[in-house]
């Protein structure tokens, strides 16, 4: 396992890579976009991005002259990609949307194009963290206190940016199968269903979204237990309470037993959960 020492070494390496980018030391290639040019290093670009590996190896022109010109994206988008490749983070998001639902999808689109697996993983984590925090609030207000007004307030505050995120996710990736960001958003709507799938305004706004959103199916599936759902206040596996501000967790799956009994499994326990909902689990 990675201990504090390993984390310190990782931070040191990241800082060293960032310095290579900032001063161009030992640069052996350049990336050009618009009026911006970055002095870069093949060893870093090619080992962390399959797209750059293809561009800078083999018989392509870029591999001969060591210059990659990118015209598909703006300079600030390319800057974010290069920044992540060298540091593992995107420190400057000033040009990106402020919405917590939108900017991870903007970055995921870039990561998908440049085939940067680590960046795609990070985008999913960034989106999941925000979604789980909101789902946690919705579930506690609905399952434990039945605070309808609080749920309506959450829906009112979150709907504009959530709809924007959904539109971007499905406009940018019109695929026969959902990608990870689309799956995460669909999972979030299932966890926070009382705030959104029961909200007429939200449902009205998402109807024009193209692609494989499938919210009618999701709404129909969840409708069978929305009205009378009662959950134990603890995760079935670890017994940790979700009725607490201390833990930013949310039920990631609700299992139906005999059409009457429901139980939740928290985000941390899902990989350990082997229940098939037939009543034989512990």
pLDDT digits (tens, 9 = 90+) for 137-185: 998 888 777 788 999 999 999 999 999 999 999 887 766 566 889 888 8
Integer Cα distance of 222 and 193 in angstroms: 8
Placement of tokens 């999972």 in the chain: 187
Convert the pLDDT of each residue in 15-55 to its tens digit.
788 888 888 888 899 999 999 999 999 999 999 999 999 99
Beta bridge partners of 36: 33
14 or 136: whose pLDDT is higher?
A: 136
DSSP state of 92: -
Convert the pLDDT of each residue in 64-117 to its tens digit.
788 899 999 999 999 999 999 999 988 888 888 889 999 999 999 999 999 999
Q: Can you read off the two tokens belonging to residue 57?
A: 């190896």
* pLDDT, position 205: 92
**Residues in Cβ contact with 226 at an 8 Å cutoff, skipping those fewer than 6 apart:** 193, 194, 198
Write out the H or E segment, with its range, that includes residue 29: strand 29-33
**Residues in Cβ contact with 26 at an 8 Å cutoff, skipping those fewer than 6 apart:** 20, 41
* pLDDT, position 92: 80
Q: Tell me the pLDDT of the chain averaged across its residues.
A: 78
pLDDT range class, residue 220, cuts 50, 70, 90? very low
Q: Can you read off the two tokens belonging to residue 53?
A: 């590996």
By the 8 A CB rule, do 97 and 164 touch?
Answer: yes
249 or 81: whose pLDDT is higher?
A: 81
How many Cβ atoms sit within 10 Å of the Cβ of residue 201? Answer: 11
Distance of CA 177 to the CA centre of its chain: 17
Q: Is 126 helix (H, G, I), strand (E, B) or coil?
A: helix
* pLDDT, position 213: 66
User: Max alpha carbon distance in the chain (Å)?
Assistant: 67
279 or 212: whose pLDDT is higher?
A: 212
By the 8 A CB rule, do 259 and 281 touch?
Answer: no
Write out the H or E segment, with its range, that includes residue 36: strand 36-40
Detail the DSSP E strand segments found in 116-260. 251-257
The sheet that has 36-40: what strands, in order across it?
Answer: 36-40, 29-33, 67-69
Integer Cα distance of 110 and 218 in angstroms: 29
């Amino acid at each position: 396992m990675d201990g504090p020492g390993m984390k310190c070494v990782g931070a040191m390496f990241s800082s060293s890579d960032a310095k290579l980018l900032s001063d161009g030391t030992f640069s052996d290639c350049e990336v050009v976009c618009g009026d911006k040019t970055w002095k870069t290093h093949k060893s870093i670009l090619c080992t962390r991005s399959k797209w750059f590996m293809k561009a800078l190896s083999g018989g392509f022109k870029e591999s001969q002259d060591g210059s990659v010109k990118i015209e598909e994206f703006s300079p600030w988008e390319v800057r974010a990609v290069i920044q992540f490749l060298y540091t593992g983070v995107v420190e400057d998001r000033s040009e990106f949307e402020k919405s917590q639902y939108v900017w991870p999808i903007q970055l995921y689109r870039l990561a998908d194009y440049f085939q940067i697996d680590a960046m795609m993983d990070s985008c999913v984590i960034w989106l999941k963290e925000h979604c789980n925090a909101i789902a946690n609030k919705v579930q506690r207000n609905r399952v434990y206190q039945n605070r309808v007004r609080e749920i309506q307030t959450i829906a009112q505050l979150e709907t504009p940016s959530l709809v924007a995120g959904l539109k971007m996710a499905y406009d940018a990736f019109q695929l026969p199968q959902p990608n990870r960001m689309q799956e995460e958003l669909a999972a979030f709507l299932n966890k926070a269903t009382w705030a959104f799938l029961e909200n007429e305004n939200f449902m009205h706004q998402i109807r024009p979204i193209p692609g494989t959103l499938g919210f009618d199916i999701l709404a129909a599936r969840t409708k069978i237990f929305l009205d009378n759902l009662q959950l134990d206040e603890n995760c079935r596996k670890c017994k940790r309470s979700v009725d607490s501000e201390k833990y930013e967790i949310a039920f990631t799956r609700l299992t139906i037993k005999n059409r009457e009994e429901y139980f939740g499994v928290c985000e941390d326990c899902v990989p350990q959960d082997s229940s098939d909902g037939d009543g034989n689990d512990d």
